[in-house]
């Protein structure tokens, strides 16, 4: 382990030892603000709920929250805990019950508004997606159930989404622990490490999904943070939740596989956390080019380390440490470092 110091904000924190790759010159030293040294023995395999933004689509309801528009075969309903029963036509699947009604799959659940956070995605993947219990495309089915569960927690979906955000952010801010394999336990240390790698004051996060990482960064008043997602409905939801929470973080729809409307060097740091694995490998160069175009100083890319892509979470390519370094080869004017900690990391620093 090496200790590095961010010069323009915060104290020094322990960050992982990075393997350097000099792309045509000397790079700048690493700088950090916050990190966790708790190494995940599974290599960061617990996936991110952000897969919901890749395989499916969302529309936006009157409350400004996303609703599934391709899930006509799936209906989600909440049952009171007292009503839990396993009838002859109901299939028990972990935290869920399944019922077939007129060609549709009805997903019943007893989740409460006080308990649902981003770990919901792990329950859906484990109980419904991996066993193949839902019809149609797995990513679309995942999204339909996730959105349906949250929206069914309260008669006003906006109230349900506010509770979901509050529950998740509260869980992410708890002291670090080695216990747990869900999304919150997996991504809390990833977010801490990514926050420690931020340099400068202008930050863009690519593929933010619900926007938890930008919202956490936005707690630092010295930062100007922008979150983004491919889907306008997801960005609109995050924007509304940020406003409700009194956050200055802004969100926008953004397709990183195209030339975005931002000028070159518009942000000091550009982050993309557990997003690249959802894209086909042929887009890697295009994405890296746009990330480096937007970043004035640093690009931070994090991915899970897998032997094969996990289809339950919409992964389309798998990475190891060598694969991360290979992504950086051919980039001119950048210094590359990689590390494996809670998954794989590629950090690119622009040369002076």
For position 126, what pLDDT does the model report? 93
Hey, is 2 helix, strand or coil? Answer: strand
For the residues 310-316, what does the mean pLDDT come to?
A: 85
Pairwise CA distance, residues 228 & 164, whole Å? 19
Is pLDDT at 13 greater than 90 in this prediction?
no
233 sits in the region (left: phi over 0; alpha: psi -120 to 50; else beta) called alpha
- Closest-CA residue to 191 (of 43, 299, 346, 36): 36
**Mean pLDDT across the chain, nearest whole number?**
80
For position 90, what pLDDT does the model report? 82
What is residue 206's DSSP assignment? Answer: S
2-46+177-350 has which CATH code? Answer: 3.40.50.150
Could you tell me how many helices (H) and strands (E) the chain has, helices first?
Answer: 9, 16
For position 139, what pLDDT does the model report? 84
Delimit the domains of the chain by residue range.
Answer: 2-46+177-350, 49-166
Q: Are strands 202-205 and 267-273 parallel, antiparallel or unpaired?
A: parallel
Is pLDDT at 294 greater than 60 in this prediction?
yes
Is pLDDT at 38 greater than 70 in this prediction?
no
Buried b (16+ CB within 10 A) or exposed e, 11-42: eebebbebeebebeeebeebbbbbbbeeebee
Pairwise CA distance, residues 76 & 92, whole Å? 15
Low-confidence winner among 43-47, 211-215, 247-251 (lowest mean pLDDT): 43-47
For position 175, what pLDDT does the model report? 83
For position 131, what pLDDT does the model report? 93
Higher pLDDT, 283 or 177: 283
DSSP letter for each residue of 169-211: HHHHTSPP-S---SHHHHHHHHHHHHHHT--SSEEEESS-TT-
Q: Is 92 exposed, middle or buried (0-12, 13-18, 19+ CB in 10 A)?
A: exposed
- Closest-CA residue to 310 (of 343, 281, 277): 277
- 41's CB contacts (< 8 A; 6+ apart) are none
Q: Are 208 and 49 in contact (CB under 8 A)?
A: no
Low-confidence winner among 17-21, 38-42, 328-332 (lowest mean pLDDT): 38-42
Q: Could you give the maximum distance between any two Cα atoms of the chain, in Å?
A: 69
Is pLDDT at 213 greater than 70 in this prediction?
yes
**Helices (DSSP H) in 10-65: which residue ranges?**
52-55
Is pLDDT at 132 greater than 60 in this prediction?
yes
Give 25's pLDDT tier (boundaries 50, 70, 90). very low
Hey, is 136 helix, strand or coil? Answer: coil
In angstroms, the first-to-last Cα distance of the chain is 26
Higher pLDDT, 323 or 212: 212
Q: Are strands 2-4 and 13-15 parallel, antiparallel or unpaired?
A: antiparallel
Buried b (16+ CB within 10 A) or exposed e, 161-170: bbbbbebbbe
Distance from CA of residue 324 to its chain's centroid? 19
For position 6, what pLDDT does the model report? 34
What is residue 305's DSSP assignment? Answer: B
For position 72, what pLDDT does the model report? 67
Q: What is the pLDDT of residues 81-123, one digit of tens each?
A: 666 555 556 888 999 999 998 889 999 999 999 999 999 999 9
Is pLDDT at 320 greater than 90 in this prediction?
no
C-alpha dihedral, 313 to 319 to 321 to 326, nearest 10°: -140
For the residues 241-261, what does the mean pLDDT come to?
A: 96
């Amino acid at each position: 382990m090496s200790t590095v110091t961010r010069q323009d904000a915060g104290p020094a924190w322990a960050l992982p030892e990075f393997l350097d790759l000099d792309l045509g010159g000397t790079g700048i030293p690493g700088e950090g603000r916050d990190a966790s040294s708790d190494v995940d023995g599974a290599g960061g395999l617990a996936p991110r709920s952000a897969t919901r933004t890749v395989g499916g689509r969302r529309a936006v309801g009157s409350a400004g929250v996303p609703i599934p528009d391709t899930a006509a075969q799936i209906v989600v309903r909440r049952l009171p805990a007292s009503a839990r029963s396993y009838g002859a036509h109901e299939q028990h699947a972990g935290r869920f019950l399944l019922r077939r009604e007129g060609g549709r799959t009805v997903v019943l659940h007893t989740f409460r508004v006080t308990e649902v956070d981003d770990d919901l995605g792990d329950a859906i993947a484990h109980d419904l997606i991996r066993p193949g219990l839902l019809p149609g495309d797995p990513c679309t089915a995942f999204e339909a159930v996730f959105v349906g569960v949250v929206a069914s927690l309260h008669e006003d979906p906006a109230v349900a989404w506010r509770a979901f955000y509050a529950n998740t952010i509260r869980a992410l801010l708890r002291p670090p622990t080695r216990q747990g394999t869900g999304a919150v336990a997996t991504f809390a240390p990833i977010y801490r490490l990514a926050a420690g790698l931020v340099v400068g004051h202008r930050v863009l996060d690519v593929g933010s999904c619900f926007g938890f990482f930008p919202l956490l960064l936005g707690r630092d008043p010295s930062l100007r943070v922008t979150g983004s997602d491919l889907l306008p409905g997801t960005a609109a939801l995050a924007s509304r939740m940020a406003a409700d929470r009194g956050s200055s973080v802004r969100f926008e729809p953004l397709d990183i596989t195209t030339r975005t409307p931002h000028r070159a060097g518009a942000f000091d740091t550009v982050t993309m956390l557990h997003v690249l694995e959802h894209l086909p490998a042929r887009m890697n160069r295009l994405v890296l080019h746009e990330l480096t175009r937007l970043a004035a100083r640093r690009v931070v890319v994090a991915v899970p380390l897998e032997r094969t892509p996990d289809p339950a979470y919409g992964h389309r390519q798998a990475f190891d440490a060598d694969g991360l370094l290979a992504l950086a080869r051919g980039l001119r004017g950048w210094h590359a470092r990689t590390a494996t900690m809670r998954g794989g990391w590629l950090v690119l620093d622009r040369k002076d």
